[in-house]
């Protein structure tokens, strides 16, 4: 099951679009109905998480919390992705695209971390492949 949670209220988001994006990505990686949660938050929440889990007292754009294990209920829990919408909004200006596109890219990035990709081990190349794949749709 894919769960999308919007905990920020400053920016309007098309949550259905992000659910569809995750469905496409999970299908591409041949994952059958994993439990994935995507949470959109404000900077206060992302700072709190960044401080708690990475010992960094600053906002970041996306955090991933991989689980990759089967729960007692028999479901496969892939993990959680948390995205700071205000941080994404700041970044979209320097990248010269809109907020929705930046959030899509961060969703892809977060999911790749859940799948085990790391910055030093080819995540950028995989992101490029996924962007090309999605551009064909």
Q: List pLDDT tens digits, range 52-62.
A: 999 999 999 99
- pLDDT tier at 133 (50, 70, 90 boundaries)? confident
> Which residue has 């439990």 as its token pair?
35
For residue 117, what is the domain's CATH number?
3.40.390.30
Summarize the confidence of residues 81-97 as an average pLDDT: 92
Instruction: Go through the chain and tell me how many residues it has.
Output: 137
Q: How far apart are CA 31 and CA 21, in angstroms?
A: 14
* Predicted local distance difference test score (pLDDT) of residue 97: 86
Give me the domain span that covers residue 127. 2-135
Model confidence at 137, pLDDT cuts 50, 70, 90, reads: low
Q: State the pTM of this model.
A: 0.91
Angstrom distance (rounded) from CA 99 to CA 86: 9
The structural domain count of the chain equals 1
**Residue 125 reports pLDDT greater than 90:** no
Do 123 and 106 contact (CB within 8 A), yes or no?
Answer: no
Are 24 and 137 a contacting pair, CB within 8 Å?
yes
Torsion of Cα atoms, 118 then 100 then 95 then 108, to 10°: 10
């Amino acid at each position: 099951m894919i769960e999308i949670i919007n905990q920020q209220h400053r920016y309007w988001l098309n949550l259905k679009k992000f659910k569809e994006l995750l469905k496409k990505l999970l299908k591409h990686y041949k994952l059958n109905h994993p439990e994935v949660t995507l949470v959109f938050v404000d900077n206060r929440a992302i700072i709190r998480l960044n401080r708690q889990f990475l010992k960094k007292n600053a906002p970041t754009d996306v955090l991933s919390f991989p689980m990759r294990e089967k729960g007692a209920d028999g479901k496969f829990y892939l993990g959680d992705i948390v995205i700071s919408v205000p941080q994404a909004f700041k970044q979209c200006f320097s990248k010269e695209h809109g907020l929705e596109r930046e959030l899509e890219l961060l969703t892809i990035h977060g999911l790749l971390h859940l799948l085990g990709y790391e910055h030093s081990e080819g995540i950028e190349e995989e992101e490029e492949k996924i962007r090309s794949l999605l551009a064909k749709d």
